[in-house]
Amino acid sequence: MEAASACTRPIMNSLLSKLSNMLSDMCDRLMRVHEDIEFIRRELGAMNDQLQSLADEEELDPQRKGWRDRVRELVYDADDCIDAFIIHQLQHGRGDDADAGGIIHKILDEMKNLKARYQIASQIQKLKSRVAEESERCKRWPIPSPNSSALVKVDPRLAALYVEANRLVGIDSPREKLIELLMAERRDDGKAQGIKVVSIVGFGGLGKTTLANQVYNKIKGRYDCSVLVSVSQTPNLPNVLRSILKGVRSHTYGVSDDDDEQQLIDRLREYLKDKRYLVVLDDVWSIEDWNIIKCGFLENNYSNGVMTTTRNESLAVACCQEYNGQVYRIKPLNELDAKMLFLRRTFGSEDACPEQLKDNAKYILKKCGGVPLAIISVASLLASQEVVSKEKWDYIQNSLRFELEENSSLQWMKHVLNLSYNNLPHALRPCLLYLGMFPEDSVIKKDDLVRQWIAEGFISDKYSRDLEEVAESYFNDLANRSMIQLTEFSEGRKCRVHDLMLDFIVSKSIDENFLTIVHGEENTKGLLKAHRVSLQFNSRQEDSFFESWSGDEYILEPERMGLMHVRSLSFHGYVDSMPYLLTLKVLRVVDLMGYVSDDLDLTSICSLHRLRYLRIRRVECKLPRQIQSLQHLKTLELGQHVDIPSDISHLSSLQHLVISKNTLLPDGIGKMTAIRTLKVFNLWKNSERNIQDLGSLTNLRELKVYCSNDSGSFEDERQRKVDLLLSSLDNRGSCKNLRYLCFSKYSDDFIYTPDAFVSWSPPLSLQRLHMFPCPFYTVPEWIAQLSELTSLELNFEPMNPTDYGRGFEILTGLRYLVHLILRVQRVNLDRNIIFSSTAFPVLTCFGFSCRGPYLTFEQGALPKLQKLDIFTGVISATYAAEECRALVGIEHLQGLEQVNVGLACWHHWPHEVKEAEDALRSAIKRNPRDPNIQIRQYGDTEDMLQDHEWTMTNVDKWTMMHSEAMFLTC
Q: Taking phi first (over 0 means left), then psi (-120 to 50 degrees means alpha), and beta for anything else, what does residue 98 get?
A: beta
Q: What is the pLDDT of residue 409?
A: 64
Residue 242 near residue 263 (C-beta atoms within 8 A): no
Report H helices in 626-698.
Answer: 688-693
CB atoms within 10 A of CB 523: 9
- pLDDT tops 80 at residue 118: no
C-alpha span between 901 and 964 (Å, rounded): 15
3 state SS of 495: strand
How many helices (H) does the chain have, and how many strands (E)? 29, 33
Residue 171 near residue 211 (C-beta atoms within 8 A): yes
Q: What is the pLDDT of residue 828?
A: 60
Beta-strand relationship, 444-445 and 326-329: unpaired
- pLDDT tops 50 at residue 948: no
Integer distance in angstroms from the first to the last C-alpha of the chain? 57
334 compared with 943, residue with greater pLDDT: 334
Q: How confident is the model at residue 99 (pLDDT cuts 50, 70, 90)?
A: very low
CB atoms within 10 A of CB 443: 10
Instruction: Pick the most confident of 389-398, 618-627, 629-638.
Output: 629-638
Q: What is the pLDDT of residue 862?
A: 94
Residue 444 near residue 494 (C-beta atoms within 8 A): yes
From start to end of 659-701, where are the E strands? 677-682
3 state SS of 824: strand
Which among 430, 431, 360 has a CA at the least distance from the CA of 398?
360
Which among 551, 519, 550, 547 has a CA at the least distance from the CA of 533?
519
CB atoms within 10 A of CB 199: 26
Residue 366 near residue 499 (C-beta atoms within 8 A): yes
Q: Mean per-residue pLDDT for 439-462?
A: 91
Class of domain 177-329: alpha beta
Q: What is the pLDDT of residue 867?
A: 92
Q: What is the pLDDT of residue 404?
A: 65
Q: What is the pLDDT of residue 331?
A: 87
For 182-196, 343-357, 885-899, which range has the lowest pLDDT when averaged over its residues?
Answer: 182-196
Q: Taking phi first (over 0 means left), then psi (-120 to 50 degrees means alpha), and beta for anything else, what does residue 840 get?
A: left
Q: What is the pLDDT of residue 53?
A: 72
Q: Taking phi first (over 0 means left), then psi (-120 to 50 degrees means alpha), and beta for anything else, what does residue 270 get?
A: alpha
Which among 753, 808, 823 has a CA at the least distance from the CA of 968?
823
Residue 872 near residue 906 (C-beta atoms within 8 A): no
C-alpha span between 208 and 330 (Å, rounded): 7
CB atoms within 10 A of CB 397: 18
3 state SS of 230: strand
- pLDDT tops 70 at residue 150: no
Q: Mean per-residue pLDDT for 576-592?
A: 80
Q: What is the pLDDT of residue 28?
A: 46
* Interhelix angle 358-368/499-511, nearest 10 degrees: 80
For 17-21, 173-177, 357-361, 435-439, which range has the lowest pLDDT when averaged over its residues?
Answer: 17-21
C-alpha span between 951 and 957 (Å, rounded): 16
- pLDDT tops 70 at residue 396: yes
C-alpha span between 677 and 854 (Å, rounded): 39
Could you tell me the CA-to-CA distances from 833 to 11, 819, 855, 856 in Å, in that order? 56, 18, 5, 6
C-alpha span between 671 and 648 (Å, rounded): 10
C-alpha span between 525 and 43 (Å, rounded): 34
For 131-145, 232-246, 312-326, 519-533, which range has the lowest pLDDT when averaged over its residues?
Answer: 519-533
Amino acid sitting at position 808: F
Which among 278, 272, 169, 303 has a CA at the least distance from the CA of 218?
278
- In the chain, how long is the greatest CA-to-CA distance? 96
Q: What angle do CA 69, 431, 580 make, to 5 degrees?
A: 75
Instruction: Give the pLDDT confidence of 196-212 residue by residue, as tens digits.
Output: 999 999 888 888 988 99
C-alpha span between 64 and 70 (Å, rounded): 10
- pLDDT tops 80 at residue 440: yes
Task: Round the average pLDDT of the chain to a whole number and report it.
Answer: 79
C-alpha span between 9 and 72 (Å, rounded): 9
Instruction: Give the pLDDT confidence of 804-835 residue by residue, as tens digits.
Output: 778 888 999 999 999 999 988 765 656 678 89
Residue 936 near residue 901 (C-beta atoms within 8 A): yes
C-alpha span between 877 and 918 (Å, rounded): 10
Find how far residue 749's CA is from the centre of its chain. 33
Residue 938 near residue 870 (C-beta atoms within 8 A): no
Q: What is the pLDDT of residue 252?
A: 62
Q: What is the pLDDT of residue 225?
A: 93
From start to end of 410-508, where are the E strands? 444-445, 485-486, 494-496
Instruction: Give the pLDDT confidence of 473-517 residue by residue, as tens digits.
Output: 999 989 888 888 888 767 778 999 988 888 889 888 888 889 988
From start to end of 283-411, where are the E strands? 304-310, 326-329
285 compared with 376, residue with greater pLDDT: 285
C-alpha span between 746 and 757 (Å, rounded): 20
Which residues pair with residue 228 across a beta bridge? 280
Q: Which residues contact 639 (CB under 8 A, 6 or more apart)?
A: 616, 617, 618, 619, 620, 660
For CA atoms 786, 792, 794, 796, the dihedral sign is positive
Instruction: Give the pLDDT confidence of 228-265 residue by residue, as tens digits.
Output: 998 988 788 998 999 999 888 876 666 677 788 899 99
Beta-strand relationship, 677-682 and 656-658: parallel
Find how far residue 371's CA is from the centre of its chain. 20
Beta-strand relationship, 304-310 and 955-961: unpaired
Which among 510, 523, 497, 500 has a CA at the least distance from the CA of 439?
497
φ, ψ for residue 870 (rounded to 5)? -130, 140
Beta-strand relationship, 845-849 and 819-824: parallel
Q: What is the pLDDT of residue 56?
A: 67
